[in-house]
Structure 1
Amino acid sequence: MEEFVFYNGKKLRKGYTTGSCATAAATAATAFLFDEEAFEEIQIELPSKENLLIPIAGLEATEDGCQAFVVKDGGDDVDATDGMMIGVKVVKTSGHQIIIDGGSGIGRVTEVGLQIPVGEAAINPVPRKMIEESVRKIIGPKQGAEITVFAPEGEAIANQTMNRRLGILGGISILGTTGIVTPMSEEGWKQSISLELEMKKSQGHRSVILCPGNYGEDFVLNTLKLSSDRIVSMSNFVGYVLKEVQRLEFEKVLMVGHLGKLIKVSAGIFSTHSKDADARTEILIANLALLGMPVAQLKEIQKCLTTEAAGEIIADTGYEAVYQVIADKVKKRSEDLLKYRKHEPRIEVVLFSSQRGYLASSLPLALLKEEWR
């Protein structure tokens, strides 16, 4: 397996998934229990048929079986689970089945729409298959085993993940489709958002509320007084998420966001992280100039570090109409992005600021609230 990948000009070290960690721990514990072999590192087979060598951090006998531990190494993709301990306990059974379940620190699925049925441990199909195949090679076809995956810090670390939003409660998920973590954190984040959208669709939702982050969600809940069950956080991946909404054939989209974030979309910028584009002031100045704001005030706007600070000047000079212009442009740019492809969802927009609250919307606010309630 190649240990490095080049991304955005940087050489980054690959790591391994929680699924690979659980497979290695299960293999080590099984080898110790059935063959009395104590390995300091274990070679597992990935879905690609490549081999991966993973260190074993701990190995011990229990009253009824054996357990082993692996420390998650995400390489240069440092996420919430990087460095955490993942353990697996293996117990012999009288039958021939291999039963895989989650213990302490492994989440349970509580909502439909995921790959795992409600009530089961959040151990995804690929890791389950990897664990079973690896253990079966050691115990043979006629022996059974009970395998329990656990994570001592799992419940606390799960608070830093998207699990609760996906209806996975009580701990982390055991994930991975390739067994390898390629250090492009944004890709993993996007996949999580896609999974959430797919879950909403499978639950019967035909409309979705997209927010860039917590501020947008708070505005939806506390100001618009709408339910949380349709909210999806799109982070900075506006274009990606809109195309996913189109792929999944949602009928309606309501984008609710802070002016400082969605103003970029009004200019056709669909990746809104500052590392990709930060033209907030320039976009605001261009729209204010078209409305006739004098050059002296435009120069004052240019000195502002935030759209919140610019809002003071806009209010003092009576140019609040700019917010409606921007909201309408966000709607048009978003709809234009999805043109000429099958299924075009209807898109509406709400803009707000932290200091001034509601600023503008593509439809009258009362109508939007009524429609989305």
Structure 2
Amino acid sequence: MKHQKGLENAYVIKDSKKLRMGYTTGSCAAAAAKAAAGMLLTGDLVEEVALMTPRGILLHLLIEDIRMKYDDNRKVKEVSCAVQKDGGDDPDATHGAFIYATVTRQERGITIDGGKGIGRVTKPGLARLVGEAAINPVPYRMIEEETAKVCKENAYQGGMKVIISVPEGEKLAAKTFNPRLGITGGISVLGTSGIVVPMSEDALIASIRLEMQTLTAQGAEYLLITPGNYGEAFASRMHKLNRSTEMKCSNYVGETIDMAVELGIKGILFIAHIGKFIKVSGGIMNTHSRNADCRAELMAAAYLRAGGEADTARRILSTYTTEEALDLLVHSVHSEEDMLEKTMEQVCEKVEFYLKNRCRDRIQIGAILFSQTKGKLGETSEVQNLMEKINRGEI
């Protein structure tokens, strides 16, 4: 019979698909610590532990790779064991990794640290101090509480030292945000609920916020923000632009602006592909296609405002990509006019209006728009001023 972990009926529906939930590295670390502490004090094997997560889901996790060390009197002096991470149907870099806890006795108190494969904080602004292991507050508390419960159940009055490690952690960290956050040497032990919700928007937005907090803690006042890899690649070709405050916002343009206002950022310069920011020209602040599209409609509207004629506008409405629409602008019947430039002026005007509307003019904000085939298409009115301030504010 297949082992029941407690998540058999835990799932979410995304795009009409049933996606299985999983459990966090924090839950794995807490369960491994609980098992190791129990084996240290009793000498008995613990092959499964029950763990109540902050979300209220009771997990039953298997304990693997148990190793015990003994002193000269055959008393257990150290226990190491692991729990394998199950991220459910979330595209999680740590899915399948083994999260280890090594537990030894000490005179008093419970201390927790990171070993091999657990990252170290090197920049201020994160949940842990510079130099500490990247074990976030909720997982840290879970490890501490589970270890303390075992001590109490066994009437043990001394202390314990818990070392969390992930043998493949340094390799896995390259697939996470850690290098951008200044966390070196491995992964972070994460989780606020103990449960992984597949493709959680909250988790993505939280990671954007964390990166922004890190930059502000280092003194950044003006940020360079790209939605994704296209924007990052385009920015990298702007050799006179200081990119030390660069970060990504994915589709979450509105949420990113809100965070910047809340954290006291003075200005944002977006560098974005037209396929993303044509949507912003219509006030769409989450640019994922499942929320809204309207790319062709917005491009056609901008073209008409620029003085374009109806036939080309109808053809723009039939396009599937913004690059295709741009080609129509270049070959517009207004051959004596640069309709691409005039249309992009209209687009940038609307982008600026909606960006400023979102931040209520509480920060300086601007955008550079580009295309993969045609390069820079246009910019909003405050771009040059923002670039000067970004270039003066290297961190």
Instruction: Give the TM-score taking structure 2 as reference length.
Output: 0.86
Structure 2 CA distance for partners of 1:296 and 1:13, relative to 1, 3 Å: same
Aligned mates of 1:21, 1:153 — CA distance in 2: 15
CA contact (8 A) 1:4 1:11 kept: no
Where in structure 1 do 4 or more consecutive aligned residues deviate above 6 Å?
Answer: none
Q: 1:56 to 1:280 in 2, by over 3 A?
A: same
Write the mapping of 1:229-248 to structure 2, written as runs, cut at 5 A: 229-248=244-263
- The reply on whether 1:125 has 2:132 as its aligned counterpart is no
CA distance in 2, matches of 1:27, 1:199: 32
Residue 22 (1) aligns with residue 29 (2): yes
SS at match of 2:95: coil
- Write out aligned runs for 1:282-297 (5 A): 282-297=297-312
Distance (Å, rounded) in 2 between the aligned partners of 1:315 and 1:365: 25
Matched, 1:369 2:364: no
Q: Structure 1-normalised TM-score?
A: 0.90
Give the equivalent residue in structure 2 for 1:254: 269
Q: Is the 8 A contact 1:221 1:227 kept in 2?
A: no
* Alignment correspondent of 2:147: 135
- Kept in 1: contact 2:91–2:199 (CA 8 A): no
Work out whether 1:331 is the aligned partner of 2:343.
no
Aligned to 2:221: 206
What RMSD over aligned residues (CA atoms) do the two structures have, in Å? 2.4
How far off is 1:364 after superposition? 7.0
2:10 aligned residue: 4
* Superposed displacement of residue 153, structure 1: 1.9
Per the alignment, do residues 286 and 192 of structure 1 end up closer, same or farther by CA in structure 2, a change over 3 Å counting?
A: same
1:194-217 CA distance string (max 9 Å, x none): 111222222222222221012212
Alignment of 1:123-272 (within 5 A): 123-140=135-152, 142-223=157-238, 225-272=240-287
Offset, 1:147: 1.6
1:58 aligns with 2:58: no
Counterpart amino acid of residue 387 in structure 2: K
User: Is 1:355 the counterpart of 2:373 in the alignment?
Assistant: yes
Q: Show the counterpart of 1:46.
A: 53
Distance 2:327 2:18 in 1: 45
Q: State the secondary structure of the residue aligned to 2:326.
A: helix
Quote how far apart the aligned CAs of 1:224 are. Answer: 5.7
Instruction: Report Cα offsets for 1:205-242 as digits up to 9, x if no partner.
Output: 22222210122123233216322332221100111111
Q: Secondary structure at the match of 1:149?
A: strand
Match in the other structure for 2:97: 84
1:301 aligns with 2:319: no
Instruction: Determine if contact 1:224/1:369 at 8 Å carries over to the other structure.
Output: no
Alpha-carbon distance between aligned partners in 2 of 1:111 and 1:127, rounded to the nearest angstrom: 20
* Of 133-142 and 65-74, the range deviating more from structure 2: 133-142
- Unaligned 5+ segments in structure 2 are 1-5, 71-76, 333-337
User: Does the 8 Å CA contact 1:32/1:38 hold for their aligned counterparts?
Assistant: yes
Q: Report the AA paired with residue 4 of structure 1.
A: A
